[in-house]
Structure 1
């Protein structure tokens, strides 16, 4: 049964768009195997990307987040996209590993209209570079973090991926960021740094590097540290957020909530969740607005989606599902077009049902 409130949203609040899946790193934990997945073979051209972005302008979205891959590989295109969106009042954010985030690039992004930027910082130098599978990455990202804090008004987020070799660095990273912020002019603005953590996703390259996954006891200790930090938040200069990557699957499958964001891959594929290998359309076939009006906003009520996400109770179930179907961003995943297929027909996934 569909959620009776789906008609309220004439468009999603947010679009997350992988502007590229090409990458200059091969991180041990990358959930979508950036740089090595099938999407990189058929990415949207610059003109196709700009056409897609222009189609979003009339939707007056709250936020568009540019993801990857490494977003700054297409820096010039990224700046053009932001400039297209800003007149409509859309908030623009992005994620990057920081290697290509020179001072000049960061300033160009802000001048284009970028509002927020997220870097990954997975511990101190030894731990961060080990997870990122390349030396010198820590130095690059710390330089970029310092520059953003001291020379821009960009809202800053930091993603910290827990592993069994970096958990002891969490408090050090927290204190280091807090000190940088405290010594900057930004401390008086009322802004703050978001420090985001979530369990390591057992997808993509992480499935081939299970030796880096924290133990349950390590996770419990980390969550306790996060709770302690949340109690005083270092004068609120650091806001620690612990996320559950399958929370949206558990909530949305019961129709207690309806879809308020759309996720588009670098080849134009529209997916139900960034963590599930289920494609429900492509922007080169129909516009995102057409998909939205044709049922994307109510996708969680469809029996095919309901069945697949009903198997999700933990991140370990995600691993099992991708083993059954395909890994994220691989061509052999489930692919339907909701404007051409009846996603209430469970025969569409008969092979999965029998597995």
Structure 2
């Protein structure tokens, strides 16, 4: 199996070794998929939320035990993701309270906004939620609802942003650029100026994963359209003053892949927990390194969860991804992310960190 290039040994990069995982009790940030269920039918959904996946979700009781473990390791921030986490609203409330009582300072949720009401936002705030991210993919209902596949969701998002303002917690909005909406972005930014607690508008390239690659090539904007979008964002941010509350963040979904295989960072301060209990180093790498139905988060951390970027198969797969098109992994005949089972290893059961030479792509996936 050919590689695009062979990464240098870390010491050859000339960076000082940076390893703090041994003095941390766990990851600094944890994102957890509460569920893969979703009421929307988003054209671009990278993890195919709402579809029948190959994995079975863990029970609510098992999920609550995971949150208790998370509270013990006290991450700096957590995020309830999905799917649509509000489809398990009572679980979200209980989880937020557990984390708040455990001393976790930043508790966020990503939601499409459909199930948010004024009373629910207040209850979420009181339970411990400090931040909510929604999505708005167009200047009007027709455009946003085309992307999200559910009639009425445009007004739901605007209502939710108003409820969040009234509750006094912060919000962010994600915009997913596609052929049919990318030129509307300046008008979306203008529309959002009226929300006092909105702190950030997030934009990144549409990823060729999940539903976005199911025969919908018309979704993807051209390189020229992306250049114009980035030019607008740079101009907008350059004209911001100290008192301007909203910033626009253009994100590179590949940044962490490049960073962890080229810089000498040994500790992975970010961990992802899937709705089936799987632990992954990145949503964009088809490798699970454990499952919280088998062992605790603390035990996985002691076994090397903070050093998973030392595992050869993870580094090798990250090497394949030079641009976002490479996320498909199709030219390498590797598992299609969110279509097929991941490559599964277990940091504890397989004693991975003491036998790194056995966990190469060649040995694990032929």
- State TM-score, norm by structure 2: 0.88
1:161 aligns with 2:176: yes
Alpha-carbon distance between aligned partners in 2 of 1:322 and 1:336, rounded to the nearest angstrom: 23
Cα distance change, pair 18–106 in 1 and its aligned pair in 2 (3 A): same
1:256 aligns with 2:264: yes
Q: Pick the aligned partner of 2:159 from 143, 162, 167.
A: 143
- State TM-score, norm by structure 1: 0.91
- 1:31–1:201: 8 Å Cα contact kept in structure 2? yes
Alpha-carbon offset, residue 143 of structure 1: 1.2
Alpha-carbon offset, residue 334 of structure 1: 1.0
Segments of 5+ residues of structure 1 without an aligned counterpart are none
Alpha-carbon distance between aligned partners in 2 of 1:131 and 1:205, rounded to the nearest angstrom: 11
Q: Pick the aligned partner of 2:325 from 316, 331, 336.
A: 316
Alpha-carbon distance between aligned partners in 1 of 2:112 and 2:338, rounded to the nearest angstrom: 20
* Alignment match, 1:74: 88
1:15 aligns with 2:23: no
Alpha-carbon distance between aligned partners in 2 of 1:78 and 1:353, rounded to the nearest angstrom: 37
Alpha-carbon distance between aligned partners in 1 of 2:23 and 2:208, rounded to the nearest angstrom: 35
1:54 aligns with 2:68: yes
Instruction: Please give the secondary structure, in 2, of the residue aligned with 1:345.
Output: helix
The C-alpha deviation readout for 1:255-280, integer Å capped at 9, x for no partner, is: 43331011000010001101222111
* Alignment match, 1:108: 123
Cα distance change, pair 147–279 in 1 and its aligned pair in 2 (3 A): same
The C-alpha deviation readout for 1:39-61, integer Å capped at 9, x for no partner, is: 5x511111101111011112111
- 1:193–1:239: 8 Å Cα contact kept in structure 2? yes
Instruction: Please give the secondary structure, in 2, of the residue aligned with 1:42.
Output: coil
Alpha-carbon offset, residue 327 of structure 1: 2.9
Alpha-carbon distance between aligned partners in 2 of 1:315 and 1:299, rounded to the nearest angstrom: 22
Alpha-carbon distance between aligned partners in 2 of 1:211 and 1:322, rounded to the nearest angstrom: 22
1:236 aligns with 2:244: yes
Instruction: Please give the secondary structure, in 2, of the residue aligned with 1:72.
Output: helix
Instruction: Please give the secondary structure, in 2, of the residue aligned with 1:263.
Output: strand
Q: 316-325 or 93-102, which moves further after superposition?
A: 316-325
Segments of 5+ residues of structure 2 without an aligned counterpart are 1-8, 11-16
The C-alpha deviation readout for 1:262-301, integer Å capped at 9, x for no partner, is: 1000010001101222111000101111111111111101
Alpha-carbon offset, residue 333 of structure 1: 2.1
Aligned 1:201-280 pairs, distance under 5 A: 201-208=207-214, 209-233=216-240, 235-257=243-265, 258-280=267-289
Alpha-carbon distance between aligned partners in 2 of 1:31 and 1:322, rounded to the nearest angstrom: 19
Alpha-carbon distance between aligned partners in 2 of 1:327 and 1:157, rounded to the nearest angstrom: 30
Alpha-carbon offset, residue 156 of structure 1: 0.4
Aligned 1:273-312 pairs, distance under 5 A: 273-312=282-321
The C-alpha deviation readout for 1:115-153, integer Å capped at 9, x for no partner, is: 00000111122221111122211111111112212x111
Q: Which has the larger share of helix?
A: 1
Q: What is the number of residues matched between the two proteins?
A: 343
Alpha-carbon offset, residue 350 of structure 1: 2.6
